[in-house]
Amino acid sequence: MVGILINKGMDSYSETIIQATEKVSSAVVKIEKYIYNKDKLVPSGTGSGFLFSSDGYLFTNSHVITKVRQLKVIFEDGRSFLAELVGEDPLTDLAILKIDADDYIPAKLGDSDMLRVGQMVIAIGNPLGFQYTVTTGVVSALGRSLQGVSGATMDGMIQTDAALNPGNSGGPLVNSDGEIIGVNTAIINGTQGLCFAISINTAKSVANQLIRFGKVKRAYIGASLQQIELVPKLRSFHRLKNKQALFVTQVERNGPAMKAGLLSGDIIYAFNDRLTETSDQLFKVLSEDKIGQFQYMNIIRGSQNLELRITPMERGD
């Protein structure tokens, strides 16, 4: 009996991934790091990054460029450029590099506030030096808090099960439309499918300050938060317009939140009368002008709807 080969064509899932990665492929880079050893520049590892502007600005992670004397950026087509460090923010593990290249198409940045748990995402980077590696997964959770390399807590993190390995740091997390919605940053050692990315909305805000000032000055409240969906019964009982809010998982000892009376288990739904549904929204509100100034925070605690007065502090490095 003669077998018949039937070409069913490529499935839609694969086509979606291919089309999304093709949209960002020219913007994703491998970052080679060099240090001095006995007065000689020697390689010290690799990382990832991506071009987000037509005039040569790139995102990567702060921990990728720490204690490095020279950085080389290599595109998928093989061309390479020396990179200049514009600024870094260890508290969000973000850094901005600049190269003298103007003939590459930058990646399109999306809106991480539009992400939903279960949504497909694509991670692109250079794990263990293998250039331009693509993995896929889903958004496992939103608004996570995670202790970063600097030791400080990073808020508003995207949790995903898209496989990351050393070398992926600084690469893009991409949605099905080919828009970058996160900067890959961390894996939890000893686990599988537990990876994290900095939301692109946080990255946009940080980039604006790094490019202008070379550093970020911010206020903070001293609480670990998790983004949650509000059930209809809770929204109806408290007459809330929010569909989402921020669940307090931990309150920092002697921090602004503790002094204001915030407790673990509280749900923050507004800050200064502005609805607060995501960690990114709270991050934007906690700008430099809020440091040392009384602010108002609306919370749900059980059956109570409370307003707390809080004085954000300046968050140092």
Identified catalytic residue from 63, 199, 279, 280 = 63
Inter-residue contact 227 to 278 (CB < 8 Å): yes
Q: Specify whether 224 is catalytic.
A: no
Q: Which long-range contacts (CB under 8 A, 24 or more apart) does 201-206 make?
A: 201/111, 201/112, 201/113, 201/278, 201/280, 201/283, 201/284, 202/92, 202/94, 202/112, 202/156, 202/279, 202/280, 202/283, 203/59, 203/92, 203/94, 204/109, 205/280, 205/283, 205/284, 206/89, 206/92, 206/94
Q: Specify whether 140 is catalytic.
A: no
Q: Specify whether 93 is catalytic.
A: yes
Q: How far apart are CA 94 and CA 47, in angstroms?
A: 13
Identified catalytic residue from 89, 93, 155, 266 = 93
Identified catalytic residue from 62, 112, 169, 199 = 169
For 141, other C-beta atoms within 10 Å of its C-beta total 14
Q: How far apart are CA 192 and CA 206, in angstroms?
A: 29
Q: How far apart are CA 149 and CA 146, in angstroms?
A: 10
Catalytic residue IDs: 63, 93, 169
